[in-house]
Amino acid sequence: VTRSKMGKRKPYIVIGTIVTAISLVAIANVQSIMLIIGIWVITAAAENAVAAAIYAQISDRIAPRWRGTISTFYGVGGTIVPQLFAILAAQFLGDVRVGLYVMAAIAMVLMIVHILLAQEQSNLDEPKATMNKGGMIKHFSLPTKGARDYYLALFGKFFMVLGHTIITTYLLYIFTDYMSMDDHAASAAISVFSSIMLVIGLVFALVSGILADK
């Protein structure tokens, strides 16, 4: 367990966001494909550190009776934000560098907002957890008994994210390479497509949240 004056989650959120922002600025200023891939691996790791820390705060700080509701809001946010950023990113097809700068700035602003709202306190007074081989195996191995729901959720989420990522990754190239659109037309098409996906995703997220609470 991380122990610091900033708490056990805030360090990952702050450091992860800063690394993400720096990585985006770096990607905007390099030309090597291999270097971009290498930096993006670091970016992805930093983003996941932030996401994992924020999600862990639900179990840390939310009463059990409200966790389903808060998880629903988290899920709705996870559905809305990618589409909103796709719409935003589409506005910078003519100048990708500026778009990356904007994304880095937004990440830093949202990090500051989260830190101010969460107000996580120091946890230096918590008992220090010992790390040993048994503990590592316990916490980092996959469950093998009575874990049907776990694997349904795991693979459901995996395929959902995989499908969404494939669509958003290749959408621009479909519009430009196969439909021969220029940047302006492709930007408008991506905005319309993402808006439709936003509405559909929001409806499904809200419905799933209501059903989960029942």
C-alpha dist (Å) from residue 141 to 66, 84, 117, 121, 133 = 28, 35, 33, 30, 12
Question: Which stretches within the chain are classed as H helix?
Answer: 10-27, 33-61, 64-90, 96-118, 133-140, 148-173, 183-213
Token output for 48: 């996941």
Q: Please check the confidence at residue 128 and state whether its pLDDT lies above 90.
A: no
- What's the pTM value of the predicted model, to 2 decimals? 0.76
pLDDT score, position 211: 64
Token output for 104: 């880095």
What's the average model confidence in pLDDT over 156-185?
Answer: 84
Band (pLDDT 50/70/90 cuts) for residue 102 is very high
pLDDT score, position 116: 87
Domain definitions of the chain by residue range: 10-213
Q: Please check the confidence at residue 39 and state whether its pLDDT lies above 60.
A: yes
Band (pLDDT 50/70/90 cuts) for residue 212 is low
- Please return the burial class of 9, using the count of CB atoms within 10 Å of its CB with bins 0-12, 13-18 and 19+: buried
- Please return the burial class of 119, using the count of CB atoms within 10 Å of its CB with bins 0-12, 13-18 and 19+: exposed
Query: Tell me: the pLDDT tens digits for 178-205?
Result: 888 888 888 888 888 888 877 877 777 6
Q: How far apart are CA 56 and CA 74, in angstroms?
A: 12
C-alpha dist (Å) from residue 132 to 71, 129, 136, 183 = 32, 10, 6, 54
pLDDT score, position 130: 73
By the 8 A CB rule, do 165 and 82 touch?
A: no
Residue 32, SS3 per DSSP? coil
Percent of the chain with pLDDT over 90: 24
Q: How far apart are CA 45 and CA 50, in angstroms?
A: 9
pLDDT score, position 13: 92
